[in-house]
Amino acid sequence: MKTTELFKKKTTLSFEVFPPKPTSDESVIYKALDGMKDLDPDFISVTYGAGGGANCGKSVQIASDIKNKYHIESVAHLPCIALSEEDALTVLESLKNVGVENVLALRGDITPEIVPNGRFKHASDLIAFIRERFDFNIIAACYPEGHSESSSLEEDLGYVRKKVDCGASQLITQLFLDNDYFLSFREKARAAGISVPIEAGIMPVTNKAQIERMVKLCGVQMPKKFLRAIERYEHSPEALRDAGIAYAVDQIVGLLSENVDGVHLYTMNNPYVARRICEAVKSLFEV
Ligand code: FAD
C-alpha cells in the first residue's frame, strides 16, 4: 500500500529503524522488529547510509522483510548524493521487485567520507527521476527549524515546495524538541501551498551521548525544560531514559491535540522505548 493513502483514514503512527553496522550482529534488527510488531505501527521506515557501503543491501532486505514477513507496510529511505543514475536504478528496481511501494527520497548529509557523484545534487533531483520512471509513493524530508545549510526557513520551504512539485506526496520532519517550531512550520508550509500530509518526527532522547550527537548533526534547539531534565537526571541512565520517554509522550499529546497528520517515531531500534510510548498514547490515535 502507498502510505499516503493512510492519511485519508487516520492519524498515522510510524516507526523508523536502521540496519545494523556491517560489523554487528544481524539478528539485532530482527529482534527489534519482533519486539515492535504487536505495537501495530502504520508503517516502518528503514534508513540507508548516504555513502553506500556494505549495509545498504541490508536496508533493501529489511524493507522487504518488514513488508513480506512482518506484514507491515514499509518505507525504504534512499539518499542520493553519492549515487549514479545506474546505482539509483539498481536500488529502485530491487525495491520494486520485492514489492516495496514507498521511498523516502533524500539527499543525504555531506560529510568528509561522502564522495558526491554529481548526478543528484538535491533530493528534488532524485524525486523527479523516480517520478518519471516508477510508480513508487515518494516521501520527502522537511525541517521545522530550517535545514542547517539554508540561509532561512523561507528559502528552505521553497525547496520543500519544489520536492512536492517534483512528486513527493508526503513529508516527514526532522526531530524537534519544541512543538511550537513544528506548528509554525506547518502553518508556513500550508501558506506556501504545501498541502501534502506532514508527519512529525519525534525522537525519544534516552541517553546523553544521543543528545550530543543529535545537536551536532541536526542543530535542533533544546528548550529549557528539556535541558533541565537532562541536567537533573544525567547521572542516572534509568531516570534519564524515563524522562526522555515522558518528554516524547508529552510532545505527542500536544501534537495530537493540534490535529497533526501523523507521528513518526525515531525508535532507535529500541522496542522497550517504543512500547512504553505506544502504551501511553496508542488510544489517542484511535479517536
Ligand atoms: P535536500 O532537500 O536536497 O536539501 C538539502 C539542502 O539543500 C537544504 O538546505 C535545502 O534547503 C537545499 N536545497 C534543496 N533543494 C535545492 C535546490 N534545488 N537548489 C538549491 N538548494 C536546495 N540521511 C541518510 O543518509 N540516510 C537516511 O536514511 C536518512 N533518513 C532521514 C529521514 C528523515 C525523516 C530526515 C528528516 C532526514 C534523514 N536523513 C537521512 C538526513 C538527510 O539526508 C539530511 O538531513 C540531508 O542533509 C538533507 O537531506 P534532504 O533530502 O532534506 O536534502
Of 241, 260, 239, 252, the C-alpha closest to 11 is 260
What tens digit of pLDDT does each residue of 67-117 get?
A: 999 999 999 999 999 999 999 999 999 999 999 999 999 999 988 989 999
Nearest atom in ligand 1 to 150's CA: 9
Q: Mean per-residue pLDDT for 188-213? A: 94
What tens digit of pLDDT does each residue of 263-279 get?
A: 999 999 999 999 999 99
Q: Annotated active-site positions, please?
A: 16
Nearest atom in ligand 1 to 173's CA: 36
Whether 77 lines ligand 1, by a CB cut-off of 6 Å, is yes
Of 262, 287, 79, the C-alpha closest to 186 is 262
Whether 50 lines ligand 1, by a CB cut-off of 6 Å, is yes
Which three three-digit cell numbers place residue 98? 520485492
- Whole-prediction pTM value? 0.98
Which residues lie across from 139 on neighbouring strands?
Answer: 104, 170
Are residues 181 and 144 in contact, defined by beta-carbon separation less than 8 angstroms? yes
Whether 172 lines ligand 1, by a CB cut-off of 6 Å, is yes
Whose alpha carbon is nearest atom 40 of ligand 1? 108
